[in-house]
Structure formats: structure tokens, C-alpha cells
Chains A and B, each alone.
Chain A
């Protein structure tokens, strides 16, 4: 895959940037996420996770089965902070 192809569409992170992160030591989807923001956007990596996984595996010479599923934290879906804070929804 060409370096200029965007992998994370939400945060506009390219394949080249993910490979660079791997060369700098990122060895997991979470590592790439922390260094490049890939997977931190609106869809929270639901689209790009598989692609990032493939690139990290190829760069580190690991099999896909050796990759760990990235950490997930609440909220796993988009929600308004007002819902968590218990405030009335604005009309």
C-alpha cells in the first residue's frame, strides 16, 4: 500500500505515518493510536482498526493472531457529555 493512502479517515492519518510510528517503536494498534491519533476520531477506529492492525503486523513481522485487540474504554459509542453529567437535555 502506498505511503500517501489515508488509513484513518477520521483523523486523516496516512499509511506512511503509521509505518513511521512503527519504526519509532510503536508495536501495537494502541501504540500507533497514541503516537498518530489513528483510531481516536469520530468512529473510534471501527473502520481503520483492521487496516492499522495489518500495517503494524507487517512492519513488526508478527502474525495477525499475535496482535492484541486494542483497549476499549467507555463510552464505546458517541454520547453527549451532558448525558453523563445527568443534565437535562437542551431543547
Chain B
């Protein structure tokens, strides 16, 4: 059958749900699709408390933030279709979905792609052995499926994902043999790193993994110190006895649908790879398609929620649900909060990268005229 809606949103994570709520508040009809059997995206794996300021949900656990958002969406009349795969995006604002084993068409006035991100791989001899996995996959196993992926963990990458997942594996009863980081300093927030260091977890800075060994599964990992250009230094190899290697070497935006929709993109390594160009209110090079959250550049759940709201407001305005003046006011408030999230040593780089995306959009737009 064919579904008709004002707004179709792909992804029921922090960005998608926040956008849905914003449109529904203005009286718009919204359908949200997610391939998972529960909404909330990565938020539902975050058992730790967020920090920052109060209006960004500081002190609240991610899973609770997800539940709150989901309840608000349902109360506001948002239709959330779970276990529903969006398999394609087609000209004329059409989506192909599979729901209950049948394919259907969704026709929407506006589409928001909030498809999130995937984990980046790292290849080394033995990385295809069972026991090598993405840190996000390990987190899904332990926090969602309640299965401990292994007993002795080595984490590659000291960004927040690597640090948080390592700590959660410790909490689940595993031992963490170490965190390996190619850079000479820890990449994530000190608050996360300190929790691990207090538990005696060693951090190997300027190191990399060079091999995983084992008979049919990981039994040991070989790490080595790296010199300039991240080249391993001969003679510095150490062998650690581990059964699980978690790769936390970054995320990359899931841009399969933006690519299929032929959205103009830019390659920005700082933001994870290819990013759809968008204006300051999340509209892509196709005026009917919006992007928000990790698909629009890797950041955090808190920024994803604000970007989702911004996309929601701009879709509501484009649909005539809210006046231009009211939309400007709402967007101004959201932008102020986003600005607060993009400060400091970690935030400045993200803010500059986001500005580069918007400049790229403006340059693209100027060429169309």
C-alpha cells in the first residue's frame, strides 16, 4: 500500500525523534521509520549519565533521555514504525519500506534522513577472527542483549566510544587488558578516562595493534609503539592475552540514502567521511530532503537532538505549519543551545567543520544559479 504523510523521518534515534516531536507540536503529520525493534537509536545503549548543562539533559542517563523523547512523541501523535526497513529513496519524495514482510511506498512532502552512523573498521592480520568487533557492537551485546562479548578485552581507540564501552564492559564483569591509542594523548573526555585509570586499566599511548592471533578465535593481541606516521617501531612489540578486541577507531555517517537521493556531499575526515551538504537549518541540496544527527557529521547525542529540532522547525516552516517569524525565534533558541555544545577543545573543531559544510552548501547553491 501507499502511505501519505507530511513528514517522513528515517531513523528513530535522538535526531529523528527530536525532529518528529518538533513537527508534531506544530500539528504536522509525521511518520518515523526505524529498522530496529526499539526506538531511541544509540541513546538506548547509553547507561551512563550525560553531562553539560541542564537543558542538555546533564545528569540524566541516555536510556532515560530516549524513553522521555519516545513518550513525548507518542503523546504528540507521531506514528513510529519499528522493525521497518527503508530500502530506498526515489524521485518524487518517495520511500520504499518493508514492514511485516511486505514492501510499501511512502509519499511525503518532506523527508528527514537521520540514519546515524556506522563504525569504522581497522584491518590488521587476524582482524577477521571471531572476537574482533566494533566497540559499538560490544556495547549492543552487553547493554541491550545482556551478553558479555568476552572476558578479557583490549580496546583500540581512546575516544569517548572506546572509553565508555570499556568501562561498561568492566561493569559487566570483564577485565580490560588495556586501551590502545595511536596518538600521544587520550582522545576522549578526561572524566571517562579517569574512571578507567582508577580501576587500574593501562592506557598504551602512541601504540597500535599489529596482529590478532588465535586458533579459530582471538587468543592474543600484539601491540607495538608507533613512530612518525603511525608506523610501528620494530622491537617494541608486546603480546597481551585477550579474547576480545574492540575497535573504537571512529564512526562514519551512513550516507547510503543521501547518495541514492543524489544529495551534494563533501568529504570531511574530521566529521567521519562523506557528509551531505546542508544549510544552517539542516536542509540538503534537495529542498525537500533534510539531514540531522550523525548522518550530517559525527557529533554527540546532545547535538543530534538539537539538530533534529532545528530540522523539525525548518520542515514545519516549509510546510506552512508555523510562521516564518515564529520559526526564526524557535531556530534562534536552538542555535544558541547548539553553540553552547560546540565550544571547548572538542567542540571548536566540530563547530568549524559544521561551518565548512554550510559554506559548501552555499557555494553549491551559488553554482546552481
Binding site for B on A (CB under 8 A): 1-2, 4-7, 9, 15, 46-48, 50-51, 64-65, 67, 69-80, 82-84, 86, 89
Contacts and interface: CB of A to CB of B under 8 A. Distances in A.
B361 interface: no
Nearest to B96: A74
Interface in B119-150: 120-121, 123-125, 127-128
Contacts of B121: 47-48, 50-51
Interface string B84-105: 0111101000001010111100
Interface in B49-94: 85-88, 90
B101 A51 contact: no
B273 interface: yes
Given A50-B252, A89-B101, A65 B267 contact: yes
A4 B127 CA distance: 12
B227 to A, nearest CB: 17
Given A72-B256, A83-B103, A89-B102, A50 B127 contact: no
B265 to A, nearest CB: 6
A9 B103 CA distance: 29
Nearest to B257: A76
A67 B260 contact: no
A51 B98 CA distance: 30
B127 A5 contact: yes
Given A73-B260, A76-B88, A5 B123 contact: yes
24 contacts: A5-B125, A6-B123, A6-B127, A6-B128, A9-B128, A46-B254, A50-B120, A65-B267, A72-B260, A74-B260, A76-B88, A76-B257, A77-B35, A77-B86, A77-B98, A78-B85, A79-B98, A80-B101, A83-B98, A83-B102, A86-B102, A89-B100, A89-B101, A89-B102
A79 B103 contact: yes
B274 interface: yes
A85 B98 CA distance: 11
Given A1-B124, A6-B123, 12 more contacts: A5-B124, A6-B128, A9-B128, A15-B123, A48-B121, A64-B269, A75-B85, A75-B96, A76-B88, A76-B256, A79-B103, A82-B101
A15 B127 CA distance: 13
Interface in B250-276: 252, 254-257, 259-260, 265, 267, 269, 273-274
Nearest to B88: A74
Nearest to B274: A69
Nearest to A71: B259
Given A75-B87, A77-B35, A7 B102 contact: no
B118 interface: yes
